Amino acid sequence: MAFDPLIELRNVNKYFGDLHVLQDIDLTVGRGEVVVVIGPSGSGKSTLCRAINRLETVRSGTIVLDGQPLPHEGKALARLRADVGMVFQSFNLFAHRTVLQNVSLGQVKVRGRKKEDADRRSRALLDRVGVADQADKYPAQLSGGQQQRVAIARALAMEPKAMLFDEPTSALDPEMISEVLEVMRQLAEEGMTMIVVTHEMGFARSAANRVVFMADGRIVEDRAPDEFFSSPRSDRAKDFLSKILKH
């Protein structure tokens, strides 16, 4: 299947001090494509996601979203952050706002919607991720899985062009993992462009168009999931897979 490119990284390099955390990264993610990123701890997966959302700046190379280079500041940057929804491992909801307010806030501030319109959309999205009955609670009153689904609804409320997920289920109890993965799987089926950092290999096998394997700041493999899992080419990937598939 051929995809029209939505996210393009060309020759991207980033350092933290002397540490070369992203090394000559070339990655194209097509519209509607789901790319799962895996690799050992410290390989640069989170930094890659954060660079695409411009939560981190890069030393060199270009990052293009939907044909436009990433904006550097101001309103354009706020719009970029809305265009590329991000869900992290830690539930980063606003603690002193209700669930409904969490989902509506950005719509009013960044997308300029009227509060009533925003609230209506928020309730529909909360319903879609299965937490409509939690709208008036505060985040701390929800389970981790529910909070993560609210975080997804909040990102979706901005009508993003793409979604980045950085280990969204790593901090969850096992019974909550599947409810979050199910929401993500549905999004993927509906054609959302997604980059997903995860250790959930079942999700990678069933929902990803490609698996990107990173090690030491480089993309070592970038292939279809069945090829990657059945015949990894690099020793790094073989070693990594033998470790994670063991437990």
Q: Which of 46, 53, 107, 148 binds Mg ion (CB under 5 A)?
A: 46
Using CB under 6 A as the binding rule, whether residue 44 contacts ligand ATP is answered as yes
Total chain residues near ligand ATP (CB under 6 A) = 11
- Smallest distance from Mg ion to CB 134, Å: 28
Binding test (CB under 6 A) with ligand ATP, winner from 16, 124, 191, 244? 16
Q: Of 29, 45, 81, 219, which lies in the binding site for ligand ATP, with binding defined by CB under 6 A?
A: 45
Q: Which stretch binds ligand ATP (CB under 6 A): 13-21, 58-66, 106-114, 226-234?
A: 13-21
Q: Which is nearer to Mg ion, 46 or 193 (CB)?
A: 46
- Burial per residue of 181-191, b for 16 or more beta-carbon CB atoms within 10 angstroms, e otherwise: bebbeebbeee
Closest separation in Å from C-beta 170 to ligand ATP:
8
Q: Is residue 21 a contact point for ligand ATP (CB under 6 A)? A: yes
41 lines the binding site for ligand ATP (CB under 6 A): yes
Residue 236 within binding range of ligand ATP, rule CB under 6 A: no
